[in-house]
Structure 1
Amino acid sequence: MIIIEKEQFANYIRQYERLIITICLSFTKNYFDAEDLAQQTFLSAYKNYEKFDGENFKAWITKIAANKCKDFLKSPAREVHSLEEDDYEYLKDGEDLPEEVVVKKYNADRVNNLCNKLKDPYKSVALSYFCENIKLSDMAKNTGQSLKTLQTQLYRAKKMLKALWREEVI
């Protein structure tokens, strides 16, 4: 393609760019697909410019655009498959967001540090309950202490932890 024809082709692109995007948009109903197809249309026209008879560029380029859109709509890659209701379960992300993971880790470390500041027996009850997730009933079985005693110790440990938590914030 000689320089004059390249300049003429560039003029054609500027002149018909909106028309081609509008045609592609009318076929696809999606602006991004329309832009892609418009680019493909102009690329195809550029590659095959020597086949252009010089008569009516507008008719020639709109015919290319329409054919590109028809091919796109028939494309198996464009086929949309619906998921069944059960399939959505596999797509769910069960993990926490990274920010949530960091906050949970920070709070867990903070609770652990505060529990370690308590004196026994409150320290051991608080560490077991809050940091190791051991139920009071299991602690009673393992230690031989009464459940009521452990409940009282945990109640007092919570009050002390609440006070320590506030002191750290201030």
Structure 2
Amino acid sequence: MEMNSAELEHVMDTYGEHLLKMAYFYLRDREMAKDIVREVFISFYEKSNYQEQGKLRAYLTKLTVNRCKDYLRSWTFRHLKLNKERLEIIHTEHDRLILKEEQSAIATAILALPIKYREIILFYYYEELNMREIATFLDLSENTVKTRMTKARTLLRGKLSNDYWEVLSIE
């Protein structure tokens, strides 16, 4: 089945806002969310062999979530969020250098985690999602998310010194 531009426009009008909200909630970056949704529609149009009319929203949502996951896997943690107390004591150039070193060590440790643990840490600590929200996004049970969080914390504690562990406020 060949899709024409009018049909694509209808699909974009119908599902575009939903997909944009989903991508933004996942990424917390409006411009990147727009780019992801554009890529999803381009990919959908180029393949245009989708047949199941009733499940189009679920199909496009899954494509969007997968694109977001791909983006997050490649993200380099340029801006790690630190606890507020830590940010308040950064006054000197020396403090800034130490902060940069801490961010690098934390990012390296997180990037070294297997993806199933890394995404849990990312969503919980950096995107501030709760366990239920993470479970919904990743299509997992809440207990699986909790188990992976425990394992991720254990792995991170093994990779980070106590000083870096405290910076993250993970306890």
TM-score bin, normalised by smaller chain: 0.3 to 0.5
Larger Rg: 1
Higher RCO (CA 8 Å, separation ≥ 6 residues): 2
TM-score w.r.t. structure 1 length?
A: 0.43
